[in-house]
Amino acid sequence: MPSSLNPYQKAKITVTQKRSDLKTFFYGTGDMVAFAGRFFREVWRPPFEWREVLYQCYLVGYKSTFLIGLTGFIMGLVLTIQTRPSMAAFGAISMIPGMISVSVVREIGPVITAIICCGKVGSRMGAELGSMKVTEQIDAMEVSAINPYKYLVVTRTLATTLMIPLLAIFADVIALIGGYVAMNIHDATTFRHFFAVAMAHLEFIDVFPAIVKTFFFGFVVGIIGCYKGYHARRGTESVGVAANAAVVTGSLAVFVIDLLAAQITDLIT
């Protein structure tokens, strides 16, 4: 902004820029919603690309199990180690398994799984589709009368929607094992007793909404990753931008959905 301008002119320019940014944001959001809406139209239309869906499930699910498992284990360990002193001060050490199970199942497991998948899977999808866009592979599909949305977006989004809930359940179980291991550093407890207490504290309202929200997490991770890649501009730089935007926007969307899910669960109970 030129320094010769008076404060009124500077303010006017700033307001105009902000208004333009806001307009771009709303256009972008609207475009993304339309892109996501197209998924629900295309998913029912034949031909169904089952083979590609299975391959994507393998990439999203199986290929992420080690990372999710390790993260879940560390999550359980850290949570137990850090809460033990406070619980011990209140003489509530026996409550630790219940506290771990409720916090892991309700919140930490699903959110951490979604965030890790967003970084691992969403960025891969953004970069992969972005690179396909830049090298005209998506255009090549289009001109070969192959629906690229159906082949690339629907398959990938279905895979994340189906696999992230499974990964979240897997992370929950491994986190509980991590909690059990950490518990045994200071206190002796059997595996059976730890799990019995942990499960006894879990109710339907802890488990069901947590599982339901992971489907939404999976959907947004997939659709945002694909959207960012599909709409990459020309040039190699845009591939990196697409991958980065997929992670940032996807993570943000996960937290927004988590907030909504918490509010809805709160209203129900």
Partner 1 sequence: MKDITWNENGHPGEAGQPEEETTEIEGWDDDKRPAEEGTKEEGQPEDANLPVVSIKGLRKSFKDHEVLKGVDLHVNKGENLVVLGKSGSGKSVLIKCLVRLEWPDEGELKVFGKDISTLSYDELNEMRLRTGFLFQNAALYDSMTVRENLAFPLKQHKKKVAAEKKEELIMEMLDNVGLADVIDQMPSKLSGGQSKRIGLARTLILRPELMLYDEPTTGLDTGTAKEISELMIKTKNKYNISSITITHDMACARMTADRIIMLKEGVIVAEGSYEELEKSDDEWIKSFFS
Question: Would you tell me which residues interact with partner 1 (CB under 8 A)?
Answer: 47, 128, 131-132, 135-137, 139-140, 142-146
41 vs 186, beta carbon nearer partner 1 = 41
149 vs 215, beta carbon nearer partner 1 = 149
User: CA nearest 123: which of 220, 31, 221, 56?
Assistant: 221
98 vs 240, beta carbon nearer partner 1 = 240
CA angle, 20 then 23 then 28, to 5°: 125
Phi-psi region of 48 (alpha: psi -120 to 50; beta: other; left: phi over 0): beta
135 vs 263, beta carbon nearer partner 1 = 135
Phi, psi (5° rounding) for residue 232? Answer: -65, 145
132 vs 220, beta carbon nearer partner 1 = 132
| Shortest Å, Cβ 136 to partner 1 | 4
| Shortest Å, Cβ 160 to partner 1 | 18
| Shortest Å, Cβ 147 to partner 1 | 8
Q: Which residues, 6+ apart, have CB-to-CB distance to 84 below 8 Å?
A: 93, 96, 182, 183, 186
| Shortest Å, Cβ 12 to partner 1 | 24
Cβ(165)–Cβ(215) under 8 Å? yes
Alpha carbon separation from 72 to 68, 69, 98, 114 (Å, rounded): 6, 5, 17, 12
Query: Which DSSP letter does residue 94 get?
Result: G
132 vs 198, beta carbon nearer partner 1 = 132
Cβ(149)–Cβ(38) under 8 Å? yes
| Shortest Å, Cβ 142 to partner 1 | 6
Q: Report the number of secondary-structure helices (H) and strands (E) in the chain.
A: 12, 0
45 vs 186, beta carbon nearer partner 1 = 45
| Shortest Å, Cβ 200 to partner 1 | 48
Q: What residue type is assigned to position 113 of the chain? A: T
| Shortest Å, Cβ 256 to partner 1 | 32
CA distance 193 to 98: 11
